Structures are given as structure tokens and as C-alpha cells.
Chains A and B, each alone.
Chain A
Amino acid sequence: MAAPGHGTSNNIGDKIIEHVANSDVMIHLELFGVDLSITKHVIMLWIAAGLLVSAALFATRRYRKEDRHVPSGFSNAFEYVVDFVRTGILIPTVGKNHVLKWGPLVMSFFFLILTMNFLGLMPFFNYINHGHGGTTATGNINVTAALALITFFAIIMAGILEHGFFKHWKNLVPGGLPKAVYIILIPIEILSMFVRPFALTMRLAANMTAGHIAMLAIFAPIFLLHNAYVGVASVALNVGITFLEIIVSIVQAYVFTLLSSVFIGQSIHPHH
């Protein structure tokens, strides 16, 4: 495989991988022996976080000043999405009494992932790192793994805060079953504890990357065949796929957030 970042390979497959992968190190940074180098996806993360924080602070400026604010315009639109997360995700999963405690985490998940997903759709971010690849940070498995690890610890924290340290681990398996069942059940529950964040990681990263791979694959025949009709068809198809990707971006942010919230809710209210 050609070294990414040089763009010398004529192999379409390598080009595609090069496009969706993270960039080479742009600024080398090492702290306490840990490599903290700045790459394209770190910059994408910062852009997303910066945009989100600015927009959210702007939208909620009045809420911090007025006791009973009646929103309009952008605030109103923002509030609509916040209320969607609150009533559509938080209340049914963690319950009304825990919304204030877990709301900030769940809302940060939703809005940050959504912002990053949308950034991936903007075709100009490939200019970071000299024209290579416009995929966003949520297309990188390390980013989604880091987010899923936060979910993993949040699930444990939620259970411990609600039921205490020992009760939380006991809650993982249902009580009052024959002892033989536990021999099977305990490993399954422990496994599922790790499978959940792993599934979150793969689902988000794969979905965000897949769209780019599909679009690049559809563009590829233009360069292979050098035919104008193929070009028109490819572009038309990709316009459609772009619309599909908008939906995928929203759905994947929703799915990650919803599942995280569901798992946290299960920890708070064990239904065993």
C-alpha cells in the first residue's frame, strides 16, 4: 500500500483508503511519553467542538439571564433539538428524575457527534492536510472508541451512584435463579458489558466511513473510463447519496446517543 499523504498511488483502492483515513502527523507532540500529535481528525474534533460550543452558547445566552425565557429564531430551533433529546431519549431511558444528572453527558454526545458527522459532509475539509480526505473524526475508530469508553464508564458510574458499588455488580445478573444458570449467565453479562461499547464504536465509525467509500467508489469509474456519460451518472448518483448521508449523519448520532442513554438507564433501573 502506498504511504498515505503522498498521493502518488494510481491504485483506486489505495486512493479511497487514503481519503477516508486519518492524515499523517501534522504537528508532532509528545507529553509524558504519550504521543499527542495533531492530525487532521484532531483538528476536525476541535472545529466541531468550537462550532458546537459557540452555537450552543449563542443559542442559550438568554436562558442564563432570564428566568422564564420565551425563545425565538435560532434559540427556538436549538431548544427544539434539546427538547427532542430530553423527551425522546433521556426521559424514556434514564427517567425524569435523572435528566438533570445525565442530560449534559447525553446531550454532549448527541450534539458533538452530530456536528462532527455534518462536518464530514462538507467537502472543503479535505483542504486540511493538503487535499487529502474529507472524512470527519467520527469516521475514525479511535474517536468513536474513546466516546464509547466514556459510555462504558458512565454505565458503571450510573449504577454505582444509584445502587452503591456492590449492589451495582449484583444487579448485572437477575437474582433468584438456579445456581447452574449463573455459570452461563455471569460470563454472558460480563461479555455484554464489553460488547456494548465495542458495538457503539464500530457502528458509528463504519457508518461514517462507509458513505465516503461508497461515494468515492461511484466517482472512481470517471477516472477509470474517462467517459462524460459515466461522469454525469456518477455525479447524479452521488448527489442522491449525499442526501442519504445527511439522514445517516442524524440517525447515527441519534443511535449512539440513544443506546448510551438506554445502557445508562438500565444501570439505574435494573429490570432483573
Chain B
Amino acid sequence: MENLLRFDTGLMIWTWITFIAVLVILGAKAWKPMIKALENRENFIRESLEEAEEARKEADKIAIEYEAMVAKARQEAQNIVAAGKETAELMKADILNEAQEKSAGILKQAEVQIVAERDKAIAEIRNQIVDISLAAAGKIISKSLTLEDNERLIDDALKDYGKN
């Protein structure tokens, strides 16, 4: 057993030398670069995930905003169409009214004109009748009647005509 548990300073010193050599070489060339690379990668992945999450939230927000915008635009368009319709209805009613008023005016004017023309025609006819009657009567009874008789006859005739 003494071989197994033999105290060996030389071996201990060699162990330290070897271990420290490994520690120094690999510490600088392998372990530290690797730890840094792993930490960098971890941070990169974490940041990427956070960024992706943020971008997703932002996109959601924008989508909601966009939807609201579209809804608003649609509402506005509907309002514009409705207002246009209303205006058109009003205009149509106005135009109709005006047209009706105008046609009524024209009709009335025509009526008045017709009445005036008729009166004028009647008056003319009456004058012509008087003239003709006078001429006829004169021819028929020119010698037998005195001036007084003529006047009286004309008056009678006129009275009768007026009754008619």
C-alpha cells in the first residue's frame, strides 16, 4: 500500500506546472473566447426575440390603427354619399317647384291674354256689327227716317246688343 499513498513532491509540482500551463493557454485561447461567444449568442438571441416581440406588437398596433382608419374612411364616404343624395333630392324638389311655378305663371298669362284677345275680338265684332247694321239699316230706310228716328233706332239696337 505504501506505493499507492507515497508522498511525491515532484509529481505534485509537475501537476501544478501542467495545470497552470493548461489554465493559461486554454484560459486565453479557448475558455474565455468560448464563454464570451456563448454569452454574446445568448444576448443576441434574447435581444432578437425581444425585438421580434416588439415588432409584432408594433405591427398589431399599426394594423389596429389601419383598421380604424379604414372604418373611419368608409364612414366618411358613406356620409359624403348620403349628403350628396340629400342635396340632390333638395335640388330636384327645387327644380320641380320652380318648373311648376313657371308653368303655372305661363298658363295664367296665357289665360289673361286669351281673355283680353277675346274681349278685343268681341269689341271689334260689335263695332263692325254696328257699322254693318247702320249701313244696312241706312240703305233700307234711308229716306223714311228722320235723324231722330235714326238715333232712337241705334240706341235700341245698342240696348238689345248690350242685353245679349
Contact = CB atoms under 8 A, between A and B. Distances in A.
Interface of A: 1, 4, 17-18, 20-22, 29, 34-37, 39, 41-42, 45-46, 49, 52-53, 56-57, 59-60, 63-64, 67-69, 79, 82-83, 86, 99-100, 103-105, 107-108, 111-112, 137, 140-143, 145-147, 149-150, 209
A140 B27 CA distance: 25
A143 B32 contact: no
B15 A82 contact: no
B32 A100 contact: yes
Interface in B17-46: 18-19, 21-23, 25-27, 29-41, 44
17 contacts: A18-B3, A22-B11, A34-B9, A35-B9, A36-B14, A53-B25, A53-B26, A57-B25, A57-B26, A59-B30, A60-B33, A63-B33, A68-B40, A69-B37, A79-B34, A99-B39, A141-B5
Contact of A41 (B11, B25, B27, B41): B11
Interface of B: 1-16, 18-19, 21-23, 25-27, 29-41, 44
Contact of A145 (B3, B12, B29, B39): B12
Contact of A137 (B15, B34, B36): B15
A57 B29 CA distance: 7
A144 B16 CA distance: 10
Contacts of A146: 11-13, 15-16, 19
B35 A86 contact: yes
A147 B12 CA distance: 8
Nearest to A39: B11
Identify the 7 closest CB pairs spanning chains A and B, nearest first.
A104-B27, A146-B15, A21-B3, A146-B12, A142-B11, A56-B30, A104-B31
Contacts of B35: 82, 86, 99-100, 103
A34 B10 contact: yes
Given A45-B14, A100-B36, A17 B3 contact: yes
A107 B26 contact: yes
Nearest to B28: A104
A52 to B, nearest CB: 6
A36 B15 contact: no
